[in-house]
Amino acid sequence: MDHSAVYKGEAVNESIVRIEQLLSAAKAIPATETIKARAADRALNGIAPFRFHRQKNSIADAIIIETYANEVHQASSEDDEFAFITHNKADFSQDGGDHRMPHPDLMPLFDDVSSRYWTSLPDLLNDLDEDLLANYDLQLYGATQVRGFSEILEAEHLLYRQVWYNRHQNLRINIERGREKVVTNEEYWAAKPVQRRRMTTEGTWKLAQEAARKTEAEIGVENCGPWNDFEWGMINGKLSALRWVMGEEWDMLDT
């Protein structure tokens, strides 16, 4: 839950920044007194987006549609194209009909050539250029989705067991080749500190062998190596990265 709260909070912040950038880059169209008067006329006559049967103040919506109408009317060229895009189907679209069509009161504003009505921005963009949104679904629903924290924990645990198992095998080889000695507790504590660096007590070695068998059974022998230098580097890098995501410092590879 903590992970989800942090991620979703960051996603909200990112969305706010993007929206602010879009708004700051957009052309500001002022609501003139003439536009406000026309919006008021819509209210007095119950013309969409005003509906007498709905207890709602739609003056802001009326100003929006009148601003759009004003822009269409003032088009500087016959080649100019306009689109009105809204999710507010209750106020601007047909009642009980095709919500993709404008309300009958608004039909004179849309000729489907120079002025068109849309209830979906992706649909409009796709109509303009099919290739523009070729990766829309992938970007919106695929790449932006973070993995669940339980999945991250599961991956971290597998990598942790793999790193531990590799280190265990290095210890086993060192013992077999005489570079590491298995000794009793008495021998271990009787040795000098510098000598202990190459010693493993019998009890520790027994526990390590049992842990190795459990690891093989838990993650499967096929996931226990051996690996080449590149693969080994990738495993350590992945473990470090996942632990960083979970709150550890970089390069935390303790097992």
Residue whose pair of structure tokens reads 């590491």 in the numeric block: 180
User: Rounded to an integer, what distance in angstroms lies between the CA atom of residue 220 and that of residue 162?
Assistant: 10
Residue 142 pLDDT > 60 = no
User: Rounded to an integer, what distance in angstroms lies between the CA atom of residue 179 and that of residue 31?
Assistant: 84
User: Rounded to an integer, what distance in angstroms lies between the CA atom of residue 233 and that of residue 240?
Assistant: 11
Is the bond preceding residue 49 a cis peptide, omega within 30 degrees? yes
Q: What average pLDDT does range 128-141 have in this prediction?
A: 71
What pLDDT band is residue 24 in, cutting at 50, 70 and 90? very high
Q: Which of 70, 88, 57 is nearest to 29 (CA)?
A: 70
Residue 143 pLDDT > 60 = no
Of residues 234 and 54, which shows the higher confidence score? 234
pLDDT at 141: 57
pLDDT digits (tens, 9 = 90+) for 64-119: 999 999 999 998 888 999 999 999 988 899 887 788 999 999 999 999 999 999 99
Residue 10 pLDDT > 90 = no
What pLDDT band is residue 58 in, cutting at 50, 70 and 90? confident
From the CB of residue 67, how many other CB atoms can be counted at a distance below 10 Å?
A: 18
pLDDT at 136: 65
Across the chain, mean pLDDT equals 88
What distance lies between CA 190 and its chain's CA centroid? 57
Q: Which of 133, 107, 114, 131 is nearest to 122 (CA)?
A: 133
Q: What average pLDDT does range 44-59 have in this prediction?
A: 79
Domain boundaries, given as residue ranges, for the chain: 2-143, 149-245
Can you point out the beta strands (E) in 52-175? 82-85, 115-118
Residue 137 pLDDT > 80 = no
pLDDT at 6: 64
